[in-house]
Structure 1
Amino acid sequence: MAESTNMKGTIHANGNKIAVISNGNENDYISLTDIAKYKNQDSPADVVKNWLRSRSTIEFLGLWEQMHNSTFKLVEFDQFKNEAGANSFVLSPQRWIASTNAIGIISKSGRYGGTFAHQDIAFEFASWVSAEFKLYIIKDYQRLKSDENSRLSLDWNLNRTLSKINYRIHTDAIKENLIPENVSIKHQGITYATEADLLNIALFGKTAKEWRTENSSSNGNIRDYASLQQLIVMANLESLNAEFIKQGLSQAERLVMLNRVAIDQLRSLLGNPSVKKLENK
């Protein structure tokens, strides 16, 4: 797991707190250390090591890695599999990771330190610790994911609403400054569409029609598939374009200026920790 990890939440399983972290995508990693405390509060690391001694555990971890990790070292895995189960065999998470280049288990130091594993592996470990405890973990993990989806939906809708508000400002500026009186409704629509595509080109590098041609199997439009950063920038571009229109700037001039703004703002937002927090909630 090359990407940095961030605290995502806490599972409350029958009175026990279990940390959950994310590597920035849809995959969550759950603390094996916290799960192990259910079995041994004083020495959770020993519980994890005992689990790793089993041949069935090694085979499960190896299969998971082969399904998800193209750089998994099979030779080293076979060696562990052959040794597993012997009285002298001892395996720590750190040794497993270092020897096989595994990504399903990670070892972290610092504030949220301990051994974490992908949710698939964490649930398997929980089954070994206690089938009953595993059910508590799964139940509250589902609650955590539900809360996460609700927050993402709220953040997304807030940004879509902001974009719609600025869109009204944008279309009013077009109506007042670019559309002469007595122009047909049909031609008014053409003007609006042209200005909307001006923003699409400035931000996405393509028109709505070009996007639909490239994504014929997708539902919705180009903005429905925009990232959180792109939606924020689009809202800003709509306000700026409205001002540029009032200043009497040509469409060509506005396109160049808006494109520069889009590039600068996206670069800034992609590294903005506040936006990252919204994405990871």
Structure 2
Amino acid sequence: MAKKNQKIEVQGTEITVSKNDLADFISLTDIARHKNPGRTDDLIRNWLRNRNTIEFLGIWEHLNNPNFKPVEFDGFRMQAGLNSFTLTPKQWIEKTGAIGLISKAGRYGGTFAHKDIAFEFASWISVEFKLYLIKEFQRLQEQEQKSLDWNVKRSLSKINYRIHTDAVKEHLIPDELPAKKVNLVYASEADVLNMALFGKTAKQWRDENPGKEGNIRDYANVTQLVCLANLENLNAVWIEEGLPQPDRLQRLNQVAIQQMQLLTRDVSAKRLTGKDIDKK
């Protein structure tokens, strides 16, 4: 059903958010547990018996599910609200081909619903609980977006560094140069960028931070990574033009100073990077 589960806490109740291929699904079982821990399944079935619920689910499926079965849906809608009418999530899914609800057996199973439907169920449980659920769910999404932005920019830096090392290989390394010396050239060019932006080489950083894993770039904030990506492109161009390394280092340092001043001062850049990430 899901590739990844996450937890959010809403008014003291732990709610599971399941990362489906199409969207986020929220556990109705956990939401019902907030109301009555011993009768979660009964609460969900009682909610499904309601005519307004059936009509809401039907409209949602019509909008989002081209394989939804309208004839079977009409049968449920006609019976909804009658004293004799009962309906389980599994019956709803199997009869109508619904995709908005997911029913899973087992220890870590339960009933999950697309966030649109989950918020509707939460409102039936408690309007106050629904508002807190939306707030915590939005907070989770914001955290995921910040993490995604960081990963994208880190990947961009790595891609640009590949362009940079290719330029080093093509223009600075003779064909017959031994592999050991090739590595030394790469290290030297990497440290040109490190010196331009961070003011120290990779070895100097490791000597100053013996207890940290990774390298100096793993501890850069997003603003620095954006600047680093620009420096890598510029250095690759200047290598191709045959500019000597000392001259490139001086130019790169000037560019780094100018760009970091702009990036850290500009309001839109601060909004892009996020306060917490810049403090990484």
Relative to the length of structure 2, the TM-score reads: 0.60
Q: Which residue of 1 aligns with 2:92?
A: 96
Q: How far apart, in 2, do the equivalents of 1:124 and 1:115 lie? A: 14
1:111 and 1:154, CA in 2 relative to 1: closer, same or farther beyond 3 A?
Answer: farther
> Can you list the C-alpha shifts for 1:111-170, whole angstroms capped at 9, x where unaligned?
531000000000000000000000110111011101111111111111111111121101
Corresponding residue to 1:40 among 36, 42, 49: 36
Q: Which residue of 1 aligns with 2:76?
A: 80
Structure 1 residue runs of 5 or longer lacking an equivalent are: 179-281
Is the partner of 2:35 in helix, strand or coil?
Answer: coil
Larger RCO (alpha carbons 8 Å, 6+ apart): 1
Corresponding residue to 1:21 among 18, 23, 28: 18
Q: How far apart, in 2, do the equivalents of 1:75 and 1:24 lie? A: 28
Q: What is the 5 A alignment of 1:1-281? A: 4-25=1-22, 27-176=23-172
Is the partner of 2:5 in helix, strand or coil?
Answer: strand
What is the CA distance between 1:177 and its match in structure 2?
6.6
Q: How far apart, in 2, do the equivalents of 1:121 and 1:22 lie? A: 15
Q: Please say if residues 7 and 112 of structure 1, whose CA atoms lie closer than 8 Å, have aligned partners that are also in contact.
A: no
Size of the aligned set, in residue pairs, is: 174
Q: How far apart, in 2, do the equivalents of 1:30 and 1:40 lie? A: 17
Instruction: Report % sequence identity.
Output: 48
Letter in 1 for 2:74: D
Is the partner of 1:37 in helix, strand or coil?
Answer: helix
> Can you list the C-alpha shifts for 1:41-95, whole angstroms capped at 9, x where unaligned?
1010100000000000000000000000000000000000000000000000000
Which 4+ runs in 1 deviate beyond 4 A?
Answer: none
What is the CA distance between 1:8 and its match in structure 2?
3.1
Relative to the length of structure 1, the TM-score reads: 0.60
Q: How far apart, in 2, do the equivalents of 1:47 and 1:110 lie? A: 19
Letter in 2 for 1:5: A
Is the partner of 2:166 in helix, strand or coil?
Answer: helix
Q: How far apart, in 2, do the equivalents of 1:146 and 1:55 lie? A: 35
* Larger radius of gyration between Structure 1 and Structure 2: 2
RMSD across aligned C-alpha pairs, in angstroms?
A: 1.4
Letter in 1 for 2:34: Y
